[in-house]
A and B are shown apart, each in its own frame.
Chain A
Amino acid sequence: MEFVYSDEERMMLQMARGFAEKEVKPIAKEVDKEHKFPAANVKKMGELGLMGVSVPVEYEGSGMSNICYAIAIEEISRQCASTGVIMSVNNSLACDPIKIFGTEAQKKKYLADMASGRKLGCLGLTEPNAGSDAANLQTTAVLDGDEWVINGRKIFITNGNEADYCVLIASTDKTQGHRGISAFIVELDNPGFSVGTLEDKLGIRGSSTAELVFEDCRIPKENLLGEIGKGFKVALTTLDGGRIGIASQALGIARAAIEDATAYAKERVQFGKPIAQLQAIQWMLADLSTHYEAARLLTHRAAYLKDQGQPFGKEAAMAKLMAAETAMKAATQGIQILGGYGYTTDYPLERYFRDAKITEIYEGTSEVMRLVIATNVLK
């Protein structure tokens, strides 16, 4: 076993950290406060190859490992979790399913467009009545001649307001349950498509969370992604990979909270000495740092297994569970260490706190993560 960075991982880390500190950090507060999509940075990230990290070079991706991907998401999320999730969704939820299930023509067009950052992608899965119970979809796709006709509503779709393409999961045969679900690629400039409600959220306020409305939305027959009736597998496979991205995002938030709280504890003097010299503070920082390192090893191991083409669903679920709960704990205790200052918007700890919460919910709640892990452990 080796626990050292390869040359490319080290360079990626250096580049991503530099970019995040110089370009992402300065606008992170504004992005959060104003609910502002960081369009200019997303464009720059496309140019740097961050929007298709592990997409092969022939489809205009960077051709790097999933470990590199995890490192990059963490560095971006360390400064701005909103920017981190925009990147994660494009990479994991939009590029990945087309990379895995797409035809050559679909890869040449849609994958290349999104991996290069020319276009932005999203995944249309969640519905009002199909959250954790993803098989209970009401959105339908019916074949009419050479076109699929899509009707239905998707909610809570990250990147939904800005996305150009959507990987859509819909029912093609309601009598078949999850075996009647299929995946599609939809270009969102379609007249049968519109953006519905935009959510006002607790955290990750720089990324949009939108309702997608499909009303007799007609797409070409060849935009079926994978086989008919195999869409549930597309969704689950996609989410497995997505969890590496969200685990990495959570790691970035956790590290931000730990680093900021540590710096504060060294400076803040009470009772005549820095509070970092108090055991109460030291134990919090010791526990948080340990949880962070453990979550990071789980995340990188899941990414490693994915790189090796081995099953990684259980490991990705463990990584996301551990990283998300660590992020929440780090943000909570980080605020505690800063005391009253941590509760104000003068310090970014309150933002980390609000951003951390979603990592316990999206791309599978912590409860669903435990279900996935238990199913694997008990089989």
Chain B
Amino acid sequence: MKIVACIKQTFDTEAKIVVGGNGQISDEGVNLIVNPYDEFAVEEAIRTKEKNGGEVVVVTVGGDKAQEALRYCLAMGADRAVLIQDAAMVGADSRAVSIALAKLLSEKEAGYDIIFTGKEAVDDGAAQVPSRLAEKLDLAQANVVTALSLADGKATATCEIDGGSEILEMALPALISAQKGLNEVRYPSLPGIMKAKRKPLEVLSLSDLGLSADDVASKVVLAAAELPPARKAGQRLTGEVDEVVAKLVKLLKEEAKVI
């Protein structure tokens, strides 16, 4: 089987978010990690390979530092990696990323049996790329997947939906976006880390893919970011019970506007 895992390098979930003077989020001194949902995707890809044989190709769009994220996945057990890196992709929106990934996967890396992604990235939380990519590749998709089995060229996926879960069955190739619970992510072993150094990591520009900067021009631009307002201190109501209740009801109606 040819198994693909798409990942994104994101801020460490414990990173302190700082908005720079230009209204953009600063990545200075921030520890970068593989998006946690994408780790489930990579883990599932490796497990699929361990069960069925084949190879795991991990792909991402990013800058120089994204190589670290790819090496981490190689250390976990992926076989090779592809990085799409281009000045025109800096700050790319979900649409641009899915165009670039779709082009890669329909040409240079065609012939896959299954594609894994995380259900969303923890930085922008857009959850756009999995569905956009599946649409562009004309693949069946299962999103927010918590359980998966593969047999006889078919995938059976349990997907989290509002108030319950649904089970989808689809023919391969298909795209699966992973939710927490799909598996328990392994740590890269030390021998795995040593082997990762020698595994192939290919860097491709847009022109290598046959795309121009215009093809991936972002429709969405982050104009400015600001931190959420600091939480105000709570109010303490004092006095007789009747008085306090009346005040509370008034506040709930007029200030909080919840009743």
Inter-chain contact B189/A49, CB cutoff 8 Å: yes
- Digitize A1-33: 1 where CB-to-B-CB distance is under 8 Å, 0 elsewhere: 000000110111011001100000000000000
The segment out of A62-70, A269-277, A351-359 that lies at the interface is A62-70
Contact B191 A11 (CB under 8 A): no
Given A7-B68, A7-B71, A7-B197, A19-B187 contact (CB < 8 Å): yes
Q: How large is the interface on A (under 10, 10 to 19, 20 to 34, 35 or more residues)?
A: 20 to 34
Count of B interface residues, CB-CB < 8 Å: 15
Considering the complex, which residues of chain A in the window 149-199 have a beta carbon less than 8 Å from any beta carbon of chain B? none
Q: Is the CB of A12 within 8 A of B68?
A: no
Selected contact of A62 from candidates B68, B187, B190, CB within 8 Å? B190
Q: Which of A15, A57, A64, A72 contacts B188 (CB 8 A)?
A: A15
Do residues A14 and B72 form an inter-chain contact, with CB atoms below 8 A? Answer: yes
Over the window 167-202 of chain B, the binary record of Cβ atoms lying under 8 Å from chain A Cβ atoms (1 yes, 0 no) is 000000000000000000001111111101100000
User: Does residue A48 face the partner (Cβ distance < 8 Å to B)?
Assistant: yes
Bound-state CA distance A7–B71 (Å) is 8
Q: Which residue of B lies closest to A23 (CB)?
A: B187
Min CB–CB distance A155 → chain B (angstroms): 33
User: Most chain-B CB neighbours within 10 Å: which of A8, A50, A57, A72?
Assistant: A8
Q: How near does chain B come to A87, taking the closest CB pair, in angstroms?
A: 12
Shortest C-beta distance, A76 to chain B (Å), equals 12
Q: Is the interface of B mostly helix, strand, loop or mixed?
A: helix
- Shortest beta-carbon distance, A255 to chain B, in Å? 16
Specify which chain A residues have a CB less than 8 angstroms from the CB of B148 in the assembled complex: none
Q: Does A47 touch B at the CB level, under 8 Å?
A: yes
Is B193 in contact with A18, judged by CB distance below 8 angstroms? no
Is the CB–CB distance between B194 and A63 below 8 Å? yes
- Closest Cβ of chain A to B236, distance in Å, is 18
Q: Does B75 contact A (CB under 8 A)?
A: yes
User: Which chain B residue has the least Cβ–Cβ distance from A69?
Assistant: B190
B189 x A11 contact (CB < 8 A): no
- Which residues on the A side are within 8 Å of B188 (C-beta)? 11, 15
> How many angstroms between the C-alpha atoms of A18 and B189 in the bound complex?
12
Smallest CB–CB gap between A340 and chain B, Å? 27
In the bound complex, what is the Cα–Cα distance between A264 and B189 (angstroms)?
34
Determine whether the beta carbon of B191 is less than 8 Å from that of A62.
yes
Beyond A7-B71, A10-B68, whether A48 also contacts B189 by CB under 8 A is yes
Contact A49 B71 (CB under 8 A): no
Q: Smallest CB–CB gap between B175 and chain A, Å? A: 28
Q: In the bound complex, do residue A50 and residue B72 qualify as a contact, i.e. CB atoms below 8 Å apart? A: no
Given contacts A7-B197, A11-B75, A11-B196, is CB(A57)–CB(B68) below 8 Å?
no
Query: CA A19 – CA B193 in complex, angstroms?
Result: 15
Roughly how many angstroms separate A62 CA and B196 CA in the complex, as a whole number?
13
Residues of B within 8 A of A68 (CB): 190
Residues of A within 8 A of B190 (CB): 12, 15, 48-50, 53, 62-64, 68, 72
B residues less than 8 Å from A15 (CB atoms): 75, 187-188, 190, 193
A residues near B72, Cβ cutoff 8 Å? 11, 14
In angstroms, how far is the closest chain B Cβ from the Cβ of A37?
21
Are B71's CB and A11's CB within 8 A? yes
Shortest Cβ distance from A199 into chain B, in angstroms?
A: 32
Q: Mark B148-170, 1 if CB is under 8 A from A, else 0.
A: 00000000000000000000000
**Bound CA span A292–B87, Å:** 41
**How many whole Å from A259's CB to the nearest CB in chain B?**
13
Contact with B along A38-57 (1 / 0, CB 8 A): 00000000011110010001
Check B197 against A64 for contact (C-beta < 8 Å). Answer: no
Please give the distance in Å from B197's CB to the nearest CB on chain A: 7
Assuming the contacts A11-B72, A14-B72, asked whether A63 and B197 have C-beta atoms less than 8 A apart, the reply is no
CA distance A12 to B33 in the complex (A): 13
State in angstroms the CA–CA spacing of A262 and B188 once bound together. Answer: 31
**Given A8-B197, A11-B196; A49-B191 close (CB under 8 Å):** yes
For the complex formed, measure the closest distance between the CB of B7 and the CB atoms of chain A, giving whole angstroms: 15
Partner of B187, one of A18, A57, A63: A18
Q: Which 9 A-B pairs have the closest CB atoms?
A: A49-B190, A62-B190, A49-B189, A48-B189, A11-B193, A15-B187, A49-B191, A19-B187, A62-B191
Given A8-B194, A11-B72, output 20 extra A-B contacts at Cβ < 8 Å: A8-B193, A11-B75, A11-B196, A12-B190, A12-B193, A15-B75, A15-B188, A47-B189, A48-B187, A49-B189, A49-B192, A57-B194, A62-B189, A62-B190, A62-B191, A62-B193, A62-B194, A63-B191, A63-B194, A64-B193
What are 29 of the A-B contact pairs (CB < 8 Å)? A7-B68, A7-B71, A8-B193, A8-B197, A10-B68, A11-B68, A11-B75, A11-B188, A11-B193, A12-B190, A12-B193, A14-B72, A15-B193, A19-B187, A47-B189, A49-B190, A49-B192, A53-B190, A57-B194, A62-B189, A62-B191, A62-B193, A62-B194, A63-B191, A63-B194, A64-B190, A64-B193, A64-B194, A72-B190
